[in-house]
Structure 1
Amino acid sequence: MSQPEPRTRLDARYSHPDAEAVPWSVAVTRLATAPVFWLSTVRPDGRPHVTPLLAVWLENALHFCTGADERKSHNLHANANCVLTTGDNALDRGLDVVVEGRAVPLTDESSLRRIADAYAGKYGPDWRFEVRDGAFHGSGGNVARVLRVAPTTVFGFGKGTYSQTRWRFDAV
């Protein structure tokens, strides 16, 4: 599946005069290699909820898993809009990336197998899942549903030479 090319714009209001827009390929590399993401969802009563999690970039989207009884799962069932964030704690280097989109459950077992392989490839053998019945099955009988977040808008915050790049996808 080819990577859709987003519309790219540097926001000069929040960028150093010498800054340039970050190429989408740089953001994709960051999404593919980042070890930890922060998922922001909204509780049914409107309060925010943020939690760290592991995710893999595959087929133009971020994928993560959650147990059916977890707070993030309940939140996304009521409101699929979410944000996934990753970055560095350094002020003078790196790129922080914020992905906005909708979390869509996946149950197709061929897709789930590719995602399970991506988890094991990225995070190692402790993160190998068995795929059956449209879900991930882990050690100890844990079952997790898998969600896909295709980006609608992505922000990249460059540090060192400060910049704010926005990537928008045609579906928005």
Structure 2
Amino acid sequence: MSGPEPVAELQQEYSDKRATARPWSEAVGVLTRAGVFWLSTVRPDGRPHVTPLIGLWTDGALHFCTGPTERKARNLAENPEVVLTTGTNTLSRGFDVVVEGRAVPVTDETRLTRLAKLWEDKYGADWHFEVHAGAFANGAGGRAEVFGVTPRKAFGFGKGEPYSQTRWLFG
């Protein structure tokens, strides 16, 4: 991540007495390696919407894409505030990370071309995208809008010995 490191705070009331705040670099490792993220958005009527999707951590932000008519894209048009979650589906081991921020459209073609390459490098040829008119395009004529989420606040949940909850605050 470029810029200063976020402030890390151990949430003592939710942590083992032996726990210490986890470094942001550990969360970045989880975000980089994760294959699936859960995106939480808010519908125009205020109800929550959660969906799994693939994504990338690069340049200090999480990136994901979605078709322009999908529920999450329509939600983002009304309210760009999101939560992205990833980690393990276990209770006694692993490290879960939750990122809060604003989903900002990525339309710069140079940046999109770089992201398309990273997408394919991470997820394989089934996730090959061309860049056209400020979005990803696939061979079938589909369009996917790309969003970047720079963390405003993040949480890390260490599971096992010791259990811990770290909060990172960003400038």
* TM-score using structure 2 length: 0.97
Q: C-alpha deviations, 1:84-138, integer Å up to 9, x for none?
A: 0001111111100000000000110011011111111111111111012100001
1:68 Cα deviation from its structure 2 partner: 0.5
How many residues align? The count is 170
CA contact (8 A) 1:4 1:60 kept: no
Report the secondary structure of 1:65's partner residue: strand
1:29 Cα deviation from its structure 2 partner: 0.6
* Structure 2 counterpart of 1:93: 93
Runs of 4+ in 1 over 3 A off after TM superposition: none
Matched, 1:103 2:103: yes
Deviation larger for 1-10 or 140-149: 1-10
Structure 1 residue runs without a partner (length 5+)? none
CA contact (8 A) 1:38 1:53 kept: yes
Structure 2 residue runs without a partner (length 5+)? none
After the TM superposition, which residues 40-55 of structure 1 pair with which residues of structure 2 at under 5 Å, given as runs? 40-55=40-55
Q: C-alpha deviations, 1:53-79, integer Å up to 9, x for none?
A: 000001000000011100000001100
Q: C-alpha deviations, 1:4-38, integer Å up to 9, x for none?
A: 41010001000001111111000001001100000
Matched, 1:168 2:159: no
- Cα distance in 2 for partners of 1:164, 1:103 equals 24
CA contact (8 A) 1:107 1:134 kept: yes
1:141 Cα deviation from its structure 2 partner: 1.1
- Cα distance in 1 for partners of 2:97, 2:139 equals 31
Matched, 1:27 2:24: no
Report the secondary structure of 1:139's partner residue: coil
* Structure 1 counterpart of 2:65: 65
1:140 Cα deviation from its structure 2 partner: 1.3
* Structure 2 counterpart of 1:129: 129
Report the secondary structure of 2:21's partner residue: coil
* TM-score using structure 1 length: 0.96
| Fraction of identical pairs, as percent | 61
